[in-house]
A = this chain, B = another copy of it.
Amino acid sequence: MEIEEAKQHFIQSWGTLGSNWGVNRTMAQIHALLLVSNEPISTEDMMEQLQISRGNANMNTRTLIEWGIVTKTHVPGERKEFFQTDKDIWALARQVVKQRRQREIEPMLRVLQEVKDVEGKDKETKEFKELIENIDSFTQKADDLMDKFIRSDEHWFYRQLLKMV
């Protein structure tokens, strides 16, 4: 396989992976394109290489920036904006975990809290409370793990893995 074909294949797969995780295909592809590019790339480049419209490129790039995984840069002599992403895959993973934690764990914990003080002493209510209690406990542990991951570095994570039986 030659390099251009490989990059293309990678971009496609990254897009598919993204859409499985609730990230839109184009957004994941833009990210993949940035990953495989040696230099920062412009909106024009994205449009050409992914065959997408200016609006689409702009919107999805903005979302990537909001997620904190893409940054704007400038190329000397060029007036337009260029974009780049951190090639450190651990940094990327940390950033994504951080986003999802904030965006999903926190709302979930809030709902569980709201629902927790349901009135009643009957069996049905007790069982419901127990379920909510279990989900809450699980969610908090997941939250704790994510928090540790976000604060960690690659080596820490690797050591933790080794420590596990």
Instruction: Choose the segment among A50-58, A75-83, A138-146 that binds chain B (4+ C-beta atoms closer than 8 Å).
Output: A138-146
Given A6-B118, A141-B157, A13 contacting B124 (CB threshold 8 A)? no
Asked whether A145 lies within 8 Å of B161 as measured between CB atoms, the reply is yes
> Considering only CB atoms, which chain B residue lies closest to A162 in the complex?
B144
Q: State how many angstroms separate the Cβ of A58 from the closest Cβ of chain B.
A: 24
Residues of B within 8 A of A120 (CB): 2-3
Asked whether B124 lies within 8 Å of A6 as measured between CB atoms, the reply is no
Residues of B within 8 A of A19 (CB): 22
Q: State how many angstroms separate the Cβ of A126 from the closest Cβ of chain B.
A: 10
When the two chains form the complex, which single residue of B10, B35, B93, B163 contacts A111, counting CB atoms closer than 8 Å? B10
Asked whether A9 lies within 8 Å of B114 as measured between CB atoms, the reply is yes
Residues of B within 8 A of A114 (CB): 1, 9
Given A13-B108, A17-B104, A118-B1, A6 contacting B141 (CB threshold 8 A)? no
List CB contacts (< 8 Å) of A94-141 with chain B: 103-104, 107-108, 111, 114-115, 117-120, 123-125, 127-128, 131-132, 134-135, 138, 141
A-B contact pairs, 8 of them (CB 8 A): A3-B124, A10-B111, A13-B111, A21-B21, A38-B127, A87-B134, A141-B158, A148-B164
Which 10 pairs, one residue from A and one from B, show the smallest C-beta to C-beta distance?
A6-B118, A13-B111, A6-B115, A89-B138, A22-B22, A89-B134, A3-B125, A1-B118, A10-B115, A20-B22
